[in-house]
Amino acid sequence: MEAASRIPKTGGLSHPPSSAVLSVDFERFRKALTGYLRPEDIGRIEAAYHFSAAAHAGQTRISGEPYITHPVAVAEILSAWHLDPQALMAALLHDVMEDTGITKEQIATSFGKTTAELVDGVSKLDKIEFQSHQDAQAENFRKMLLAMARDVRVILIKLADRTHNMRTLDCVRQEKRKRIARETLEIYAPIANRLGLNNIYRELQESAFRHLYPLRHAVIDKAVRSARGHRREVVGKILESIKRRLPENGIAAEVYGREKHLYGIYRKMVQRHLSFSQVLDIYGFRVIVKDVPTCYLALGTLHALYKPVPGKFKDYIAIPKANGYQSLHTTLIGPYGTPVEVQIRTAEMHHIAESGVASHWLYKEDDALSELQRKTHNWLQSLLELQNTTGDSAEFLEHVKIDLFPGEVYVFTPKGKIMAMPRGSTAVDFAYAVHTDVGHRCVACRINYELMPLRTELKNGDQVEIITATHPNPNPAWLSYVRSGKARSQIRHFLKNMQQQESAALGEKLLAKGLEEIGVKPASVDTAAWDRMVREAGAKSRREILEDIGLGKRLAAVVARRLVSCEDAAPLDGRSGGGAVVIRGSEGMAVQFGKCCRPIPGDPIVGSIKKGQGLIIHTHDCHSIRKSRRSEPDKWIDVEWDPERGRLFEVRIAVHAQNRRGVLAKVAAAISDAGSNIENVSMDDERGIYTSIYFNVQVGDRIHLARVMRAIRHIPEVVRINRVKTDT
């Protein structure tokens, strides 16, 4: 689609295709169908062709060809996978909704509801206004991927469409050509890989590489051509040796050599910082045998023929890739020290490796496909799950991109089940892969029976056990190291909901104080006043207004006055002002404590609403707020501690003591005996007779802190102790 030049057509459906080229293209496509479709199905496909040709009459591609050549080419690519008539009709019609006046209802009437749904899934959202091209692209991908989750044929049509566009991309202007190539490399090629469509994956990669980096492509292509001549004799010798040795051991096999793709060579050079001359394994061999036991026999024979490179053997038969790919991979040292990669697989594995999920239509009788279909279905369902927890299209696309990057590690559950995780995954990713609820409640993990930090990166073969708490409590810090899209989206979704709940509760407190300050009882504001307020504010609900107050997006005093103007509420008994907002310390993300002064219960405090962050609590004597309190007094509200508090608070203390052996242990013991936990310890770099030790400790209030400091003062080596209120 993207590579086309759309010249508005002047005719309607009454204009049949007239170009001789069109009939040649369609006849070639039609012959490909006769081998696997019934005559009546081919007749329906021919009707779709005429319908599409009439709809696109007068439109041409940038190359000057009639536009109908593009849908025919897309359908021809799909026919190689033996797709069903509905998919082939949708391929022929995939641009009519986007580029002509044809509606989904018209397609459904003429060619059935299924075909219309497929066309709609592939079509773009051109009629929707977006803030930017990136937003439009993100929403298009979101729609396409969700349609794909309902029917995988949508993405097969889209991949065939993109493949033909990449084949004809030379006619497009350079700026657009590079944008399409980058998009193909980042999104479409990985999707093809994820679905096991190896041929399409390699073609899209190579074509995108050529258009995105033409000079690099040309240099590597020239180097490969040169190396081909130098290494032809060596490669031929290895090929003959393999073909001779396998039958000698009673193994019937097809053996052929292959040259690695240019983009694969380029990526290896970039990732490993190699020059072309250092990339030795640019040739590989593929061995096709009859069954799985023979794969392992062939492996042993080849290892006896040439020495294998340690650590380069991979068994994707025992543990298939997520896209269903199965093969044995080994790297051998051939004559003259030349490393060569060999892939060993059965004919069925080869079918799946080349055609992936499309093998469902090509080889319906193969039992091996059921596992591939299950894995594909699970991945498609995970897209729907991402959609449910992600409101923003750009964020949804970000999560999908993360999961599309190649590379996996295989780990085990305590019961021995194998789970494939993206490379770089941590124990938190594993917890969310098991179940969302397990992820939300995880607090610790055992990797290979040893307690390890949750941020530990998993390796192949690890056994992982997740330890959970009773209540869910995801940590925002997890977002800095989780790798999988599912974990990232679920954590963000939970934290967003939690912040909304906490902000609404804080907003209710602040609004009650605002109403009391103008002499109105909060309970006396009735539903009608709230409904009018919500309507005038353009909000969805009362809760949204309260959330905005808690997040500082709306001022409680302004909302209070607007509510009172909406309805005559009952005044308070002779009072013109309300009490302070009560702080328990357990409000969560809606209430934050200033790191500039580290307030704890017992300190006189004051609060400020900061937009997007909620209520920030400072001590009265905090140096960082003095200027703001004088210049903007309206931004500050009275707050006080609730006698019934709900958490421990971190406070920093500086202990100045004689630099003697064992003093640190004595101070730590004193802190522990006083009922406090130590969060962090640090010391001055310069140490003489005396040294300064800084402790971050947890206390309940100022009385508890005084008890801790008194215990430390009793240590003979301690000369001074003080509370540090500012971060240094």
Q: What is the set of active-site residues?
A: 98-99
Question: To the nearest 10°, the Cα dihedral for 630, 634, 638, 639?
Answer: -100
CA dist 260 → 214, 280, 500 (Å)? 18, 11, 52
- Residues 365 and 46: their CA atoms lie apart, in Å, by 28
**Rounded-to-integer distance, Cα 662 and Cα 660, Å:** 6
**Buried/exposed 372-411: b ≥16 CB within 10 Å, e otherwise:** beebbeebbebbeebbebbeebebbbebbebbbeeebbbb
State both tokens at 638.
């009275």
> N- to C-terminal Cα distance for the chain?
58
Inter-CA distances, 197 with 160, 188, 239, Å: 11, 11, 27
R_g over Cα of the chain: 34
Distance of CA 99 to the CA centre of its chain: 32
The secondary structure of the chain in percent helix, strand, coil, rounded to multiples of 5, reads 55, 15, 30
Contact predicate 374/318, CB 8 Å: no
SS3 category, 426: strand
Q: Looking only at Cα atoms, what is the longest distance across the chain?
A: 106
Cα–Cα distance for residue pair 250/246, rounded to 1 Å? 7
Comparing CA positions, the residue from 428, 411, 419 lying closest to residue 483 is: 428
Pairing of strands 677-683, 690-699: antiparallel
The CA–CA distances, whole Å, from 214 to 67, 127, 174, 177, 505 equal: 27, 35, 11, 11, 58
What CA–CA distances, in Å, run from 662 to 182, 676, 715? Answer: 61, 20, 11
* Both structure tokens of 51: 């319908």
The DSSP element (H or E) to which 283 belongs, if any, is strand 283-289
Q: Which tokens in the block code for residue 140?
A: 């298009």
Q: HSE on the CB side for 157, CA within 13 Å?
A: 32
- Please count the other Cβ atoms lying within 10 Å of the Cβ belonging to residue 413: 15
**Residue tagged 């202007």 (tokens):** 173
Angle at 138 between CA 134 and CA 142, to 5 degrees: 170
Type of residue found at 550: G
CA distances 34 to 73, 157, 671, Å, are 17, 20, 85
CA 45/CA 571 separation, integer angstroms: 76
